[in-house]
Amino acid sequence: MPRVKQICCIGAGYVGGPTCAVIALKCPHIRVTIVDLNQARIDAWNSPDFNLPIYEPGLEDVVRKARGRNLFFSTDVDKGIRDADLIFVSVNTPTKKSGVGAGFAADLNYVELATRRIAATATSSKIVVEKSTVPCRTAESMRTILDANSKPNARFDILSNPEFLAEGTAIDDLFAPDRVLIGSLQTQEGKTACAALSEVYQNWVPKERILTVGLWSSELSKLAANAMLAQRISSINALSAICEATGANIAEVAHSIGQDSRIGPKFLRASVGFGGSCFQKDILNLVYLSESLNLKEVAEYWKQVVTMNEYQKRRFSKRVVDTLFNTITGKRIAVLGFAFKADTGDTRESAAITLIRDFQQEKALINVYDPQVESNQIWADLTEASPDMPLAAIQRQVFICPSALEACKNAEAVIIATEWAEFKTIDWQAVYAGMNKPAFVFDGRLLVDANKLRSIGFKVTVIGRGERL
Ligand code: NAI
């Protein structure tokens, strides 16, 4: 079995960075180089004061321990490829914006470019590992490109090793994964390559947690896992709408059904809707795959998960407008949280973006506060969400504030859009004193103690709770 001595990871993003930093930490005998075309990102990974490009609890500590020892960040993609015996392809696979499959299919351009780079550069044999989330049978296309362009004596084995980390808990997830999944061709060479990657993980992951399966099962399992997780959120959110209409309480319903061991308690928290770079994109990808396989009913089934999510966001912003006497024109609304979830600075597909866009369209004034997201990112996201509006016009309506308290000053309503722990412990008495009355709170994350806030004087609306008690 070949022992892996040098790893290259192409793509220094939310997956490539943390995953390969943890591999370097846990495998001091392996030299790990993470490469990316984005100079600014690599500079941030290399910054002397560890001002890393990604916020993730525990990440800085990992990078401090391994960087310069056996962990390196570089823009020299070709050298990274040449030196490595195993290469992770961790590039982005966003939803296609134009052409065939636009709005659904994964854009595999970055995967293809990285694969072509490997073929053009490698002068010795490599194990090439799909870490990016890709549609079923992408490995086949990668192999065709590699085989057609490779040099003599350079053979490639392709593995699928999808990443299951969740942003916000990435380091804990990587230290103690529920499972590591490795897919390979069921040939002797495929199994040998699989064993080599498995050996890397066995430096810290118990062997029984390393699952080895066929290539196509591995690729599909990643899409399936995200589809099932998102489906649970849309299911509980659909029930939250019934709760609001009937006076049932979604927290009580979720607890009651979660006690059933067949259902389990996790991922049953109603919210303003899921976000993040993966759930929507991967489900749409599954929808596209199903349609291409002529499985219309299957495609429709999964598409509903995304439709329900959109409905939940729309329903929430409508509830805000309805509650504020059917108009928010000229009213100041404080939006607490901009990241798609707590403990990350990632804003991709964040529900806050949709809510703010809806409030902008209603001509409200919006104060935004997030503990991690940088102002530039907020402006970029809001500009993308309202392409017809120049940034200057957006900035006449939206204001970024340095604290939650500042954001709430003179507001008519506070919207909790992200479940940051610090929003639980805000001085709500002070918030109330600074707001216009009646002062409204809309909890889109089941985060605050609604009764406590009511006793201060707030009018509180909670997702999944009706007024008919
Ligand atoms: P990202 O956008 O944060 O990072 C991708 C990086 O790849 C970028 O920095 C980009 O500059 C770089 N890149 C693209 N093409 C390149 C090339 N040819 N050569 C060198 N660098 C190149 O994306 P993220 O979030 O890390 O996702 C990567 C993959 O992992 C995606 O397929 C995603 O679906 C999957 N995934 C993401 C998870 C997440 O929580 N973000 C979780 C599990 C899987």
Q: What is the pLDDT of residues 188-240, one digit of tens each?
A: 999 999 999 999 999 999 999 999 999 999 999 999 999 999 999 999 999 99
Backbone angles phi, psi at 48, to 5 degrees: -60, -30
Q: How far is the CA of 63 from the centre of ligand 1 (A)?
A: 18
Could you give the angle at the alpha carbon of 65 between the alpha carbons of 63 and 69, nearest 5°?
95
pLDDT value at residue 148: 92
Annotated binding site for NAD(+): 11-16, 36, 41, 91-95, 132-133, 167, 278-281, 348
Structure tokens, 78: 């070709």
Report which protein residue has its CA nearest ligand 1's atom 44: 163
Report which protein residue has its CA nearest ligand 1's atom 15: 110
Paired sense of beta strands 156-160 and 180-184, if any: antiparallel
Report which protein residue has its CA nearest ligand 1's atom 25: 14
Identity of the residue numbered 16 = G
Identity of the residue numbered 350 = S
Percentage of residues in the chain having pLDDT higher than 90 = 97
Structure tokens, 329: 């024109």
pLDDT value at residue 469: 53
Concerning whether 20 is annotated as a catalytic residue, the answer is: no
pTM score, whole prediction: 0.95
Annotated binding site: 11-16, 36, 41, 91-95, 132-133, 167, 278-281, 348
> pLDDT confidence of 466, banded at 50, 70, 90?
confident
Q: Is the pLDDT of residue 408 over 80?
A: yes
> pLDDT confidence of 2, banded at 50, 70, 90?
low
Q: Of the listed 8, 9, 278, 408, which one is catalytic?
A: 278
Segment 435-441 shows an average pLDDT of 98
Q: How far is the CA of 277 from the centre of ligand 1 (A)?
A: 10
Ligand 1: nearest atom to the Cα of 117: 18
Ligand 1: nearest atom to the Cα of 167: 40
Q: Is the pLDDT of residue 362 over 80?
A: yes
Structure tokens, 348: 């991709």
Ligand 1 site residues (CB inside 6 A) read 10-16, 35-38, 41, 77, 90-93, 110, 113-114, 117, 132-133, 163, 165, 167, 277-278
Q: How far is the CA of 62 from the centre of ligand 1 (A)?
A: 20
Mutate to test the pocket of ligand 1, among 90, 160, 178 (most ligand atoms within 8 A of CB): 90
Backbone angles phi, psi at 137, to 5 degrees: 80, 15
Identity of the residue numbered 301 = Y
pLDDT value at residue 468: 54
With beta carbons less than 8 A apart as the criterion, state whether 348 and 381 touch.
Answer: no
Average pLDDT in the chain: 96
Ligand 1: nearest atom to the Cα of 278: 34
Q: Which tens digits make up the pLDDT trace of 294-342?
A: 999 999 999 999 999 999 999 999 999 999 999 999 999 999 999 999 9
Q: What is the Cα–Cα distance from 355 to 317, expressed in whole angstroms?
A: 6
Q: Is the pLDDT of residue 242 over 60?
A: yes
Determine what percent of the chain falls in helix, strand and coil, rounding each to the nearest 5: 45, 15, 40
Question: What is the DSSP secondary-structure string of 375-409?
Answer: HHHHHHHHHHH-TTS-HHHHHHHEEE-SSHHHHHT
Q: Tokens 């040099």, residue? A: 151
Q: Which tens digits make up the pLDDT trace of 39-85?
A: 999 999 999 999 999 999 999 999 999 999 999 999 999 999 999 99
Report which protein residue has its CA nearest ligand 1's atom 1: 13
Report which protein residue has its CA nearest ligand 1's atom 2: 92
Q: Which tens digits make up the pLDDT trace of 129-185?
A: 999 999 999 999 999 999 998 888 899 999 999 999 999 999 999 999 999 999 999
Q: How far is the CA of 370 from the centre of ligand 1 (A)?
A: 24
Question: 169-200 burial by CB neighbour count: b if 16+ within 10 A, else e?
Answer: bbbebbeebeebbbbbbeeeebbebbebbbbb
